């Protein structure tokens, strides 16, 4: 009779360092933390380097910055209101002339009236802002493949939204500030590129494309 010895070999599966590093980053607590712990880098205005595809005419990048909090304190931009990125601690952040500024949040931009149109199967509507021309709005949708699209639509109309630009990286939200002396204005976008890393991008657009 044979005696069979069974040996059990245990394999240790290492935990990725990135998971430990992300969880160990403390959240920013005060409104001043994002200022002193974030790093700002000016970026090229070339759309492709910003993961953008512009499909409308008269649209150009006028400013772009990367904001990196990953080596300081963790910042999560949850929504966008009037160009400000609003963190999970309800602090509004923005980059002006290469510097981070903050303020306490006092609310959100108003939601659009009515039900926004569907952009496509599985696309999720995020937010929108009004433009100057004829009751149009610029809306933001997240597509199932992770891309984002900004498109024009008129509330109450059944026609498909008209895309004006796409982003390969997810956009947290958008806002639009009309120009006081021209038929056009400036979009402000917050684009997520990593854990506690974002791009803030400004795009000027002439609304003559609508007509």
Count how many Cα atoms sit within 13 Å of the Cα of residue 41 in the half-sphere of its side chain. 8
Give pLDDT tens digits for 16-47.
Answer: 333 333 435 777 777 678 888 889 999 999 99
End-to-end CA distance of the chain: 93
Share of the chain above pLDDT 90, in %: 49
Q: Output the average pLDDT for the chain.
A: 82
CB atoms within 10 A of CB 99: 11
Q: Facing residues of 54 across strands?
A: 165
Residue 13 to residue 29: CA distance in whole angstroms: 34
Give pLDDT tens digits for 144-198.
Answer: 998 999 999 988 887 889 999 999 999 999 999 988 888 889 999 999 999 999 9
What pLDDT, on the 0 to 100 scale, is given for residue 20?
Answer: 32
Give pLDDT tens digits for 47-91.
Answer: 999 999 999 988 999 999 999 998 878 889 999 988 999 988 888
Contact 119, 195 (CB under 8 A): no
What pLDDT, on the 0 to 100 scale, is given for residue 110?
Answer: 56
Q: Output the CA–CA distances (angstroms, integers) from residue 72 to 132, 145, 191, 197, in the order listed.
A: 40, 30, 19, 11
Q: At 50, phi and psi to the nearest 5?
A: -105, 15
Confidence band, pLDDT 50/70/90 cuts, at residue 15 = very low
Residue 37 to residue 13: CA distance in whole angstroms: 34
Query: β-strands 99-104, 59-68: how paired?
Result: unpaired
Q: pTM score, two decimals?
A: 0.82
What element of type H or E holds 22?
Answer: helix 17-24
What pLDDT, on the 0 to 100 scale, is given for residue 180?
Answer: 85
């Amino acid at each position: 009779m044979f005696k069979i010895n069974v040996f059990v070999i245990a394999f240790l599966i290492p935990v990725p360092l990135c998971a430990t590093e992300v969880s160990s980053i403390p959240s920013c607590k005060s409104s001043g933390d994002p200022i002193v712990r974030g790093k700002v880098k000016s970026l090229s205005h070339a759309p492709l380097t910003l993961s953008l595809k512009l499909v409308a005419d008269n649209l150009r990048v006028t400013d772009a910055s990367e904001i990196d909090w990953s080596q300081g304190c963790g910042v999560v931009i949850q929504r966008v209101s009037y160009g400000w990125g609003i963190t999970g601690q309800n602090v509004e952040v923005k980059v002006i002339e290469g510097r981070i500024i903050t303020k306490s949040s006092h609310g959100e931009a108003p939601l659009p009236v009515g039900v926004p149109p569907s952009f496509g199967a599985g696309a999720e509507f995020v937010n929108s802002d009004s433009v100057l021309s004829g009751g149009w709005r610029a809306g933001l949708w997240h597509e199932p493949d992770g891309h984002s699209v900004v498109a024009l639509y008129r509330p109450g109309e059944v026609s498909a939204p008209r895309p004006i630009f796409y982003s390969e990286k997810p956009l947290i939200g958008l806002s639009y500030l009309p120009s006081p002396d021209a038929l056009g204005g400036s979009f402000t976008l917050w684009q997520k590129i990593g854990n506690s890393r974002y791009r803030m991008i400004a795009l000027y657009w002439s609304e003559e494309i609508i007509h």
